[in-house]
Amino acid sequence: MAPVCKRSPNWLSRLETAMLSRPWTSASRSCMWARQQWSPLTPSTATVPRAAGAHTSPPHAALCLEVTLKTAEDGPDLEMLSGQERVALANRKRECGNAHYQRADFVLAANSYDLAIKAITSNAKVDMTCEEEEELLQLKVKCLNNLAASQLKLDHYRAALRSCSQVLEHQPDNIKALFRKGKVLAQQGEYSEAIPILRAALKLEPSNKTIHAELSKLVKKRAAQRSTETALYRKMLGNPSRLPAKCPGKGAWSIPWKWLFGATAVALGGVALSVVIAARN
What b/e sequence results for 72-104 when a residue is b if at least 16 CB atoms lie within 10 Å of its CB, and e otherwise? eeebbebeebebeebbebbbbbbebbebbbeee
Residues paired with residue 64 on neighbouring β-strands, in sequence order = 5
Residue 78 lies in a domain: no
Which domain covers residue 186, as residue numbers? Answer: 172-240
Range name among 112-126, 140-154, 169-183, 256-270 with the lowest pLDDT average: 256-270
| Number of neighbours of residue 39 by Cβ within 10 angstroms | 10
- Within a domain: 123: no
Q: Is 233 part of any domain?
A: yes
How many Cβ atoms from other residues are within 10 Å of residue 42's Cβ? 10
Count of Cβ atoms closer than 10 Å to residue 247 Cβ:
8
Report how many domains make up the chain.
1
Q: Is 82 a domain residue? A: no
Confidence of residue 33 (pLDDT cuts 50, 70, 90): very low
> Hey, how many other C-beta atoms are within 10 angstroms of the C-beta on 33?
13
Q: Does 214 reside within a domain? A: yes
- pLDDT of 74 > 80? The answer is no
d(CA 143, CA 112): 9
**Is 117 domain-assigned?**
no
DSSP state of 174: -
**CATH classification of the domain holding 222:** 1.25.40.10
Give per-residue pLDDT as tens, 227-263. 887 888 878 887 655 544 454 544 444 455 555 566 6
State the average pLDDT for the chain: 76
Question: 89 with 35: CB under 8 angstroms?
Answer: no
- Structural domain includes residue 121: no
- Could you tell me the pTM of the whole model? 0.62
Whole-number Å distance between alpha carbons of 255 and 236 = 29
The answer as to whether 230 is a domain residue is: yes
